[in-house]
Amino acid sequence: MMKLANIFLPLVLVCPALILVACDKTESTEVQTEDYKDNSHLPVINVATYGSMAPFAFLDAQGNLTGIDVDTIRAIGEIEGFEVHFNSMPWQNLFDSVESGDNDLAIAGISYSDERANKYGLSKSYMFVPAAIMYKDQSLKINGLQDLKGLNVGGIENSKQVQQMKEVGGYNKISEPATIFLAFQEMVNGKSDAIFEDKQVLEHLEKMYPEYSFNIVAYEDQSMPSSQQVIMTKKGNTQLLNKLNHGIDQLIASGQMQQIEDKWLHEESLLTINNNTTANTMDKTTSLEN
């Protein structure tokens, strides 16, 4: 693939927890949302999330956790009468955190799967989030995972997309870094031909680096259960799961869920995300070299 000149990339995206825990994958960090309210009289639900997945959950310029998933669980808490306490951690740690009881639930771009449903409590879907492929070589013709045969590919370790790719097989090499940004970094440098993640996450990366030309192809439709985003609880926590499902029903019926999506997914909000996540970080840069 054609070599690319170095580009400046915000270090906060290279390390999901840089602002908080200096890249330690094993630690979680307490974070606060920007419009925090004192709800000390309400029961507290500990929420595990992954604070480096814009537009779902990410840190703004002030270090506040924000995004679609943050707004969604806070809105459910307001409906159901509980306060949320966020703990940000690497995506790979979310599942053990809920299973062990360290956190009551996880919300972080988690898609439905039968395997997860057998092991955890999964809520109703609150959002359609199809898996997608991003690539920059315009000579490639990619419409789905089956078209990646013989290519070098990448995605977040243990993610749905990586598991799907392994089931399809036929790729030359698969890279499984800890973050989607590291996978993106590899593709920009020609170390991989394509990466896969949630469509909205890839669209955010595309908007963030308009100097490059990418193709993004969704390979899931709304009829596929795996395209539905859910909240995860410990298996058997029926009381909390019922509250989450009732809250989701209320958000969808009232139109508030659509308002949350629109807030973060239209063009102006994407630009705001870009400005917020790059502010105060441009003095520290990482260059990409082949």
Four-way CATH pick for 131-218: 3.40.50.1000, 3.30.572.10, 3.40.190.10, 3.40.50.2000: 3.40.190.10
Residues 117-128: pLDDT tens digits? 999 999 999 999
Angle between helices 256-265 and 267-278 (to 10 degrees): 60
The residue that leads in pLDDT, 71 or 28, is: 71
The predicted structure's pLDDT at residue 91? 87
Four-way CATH pick for 9-128+229-286: 3.30.70.1230, 3.30.2350.10, 3.40.309.10, 3.40.190.10: 3.40.190.10
Q: Where in the chain is the domain with CATH 3.40.190.10?
A: 9-128+229-286, 131-218
Of 128, 88, 123, residue with least CA distance to 108: 88
Above pLDDT 70, what percent of the chain? 78
Where does the pLDDT of residue 37 fall: very low under 50, low under 70, confident under 90, or very high at 90 and above? low
The residue that leads in pLDDT, 130 or 271, is: 130
CA atoms within 13 A on the CB side of 202: 26
Residues 219-253: pLDDT tens digits? 999 999 999 999 999 999 999 999 999 999 999 99
Alpha helices in 16-159 (DSSP H): 18-21, 68-80, 94-99, 114-119
Angle at 250 (CA atoms; ends 249, 255), nearest 5 degrees:
105
Mean residue pLDDT of the chain comes to 84
Instruction: Output the CA torsion sign for 45, 48, 50, 56.
Output: negative
Average pLDDT over residues 106-115: 94
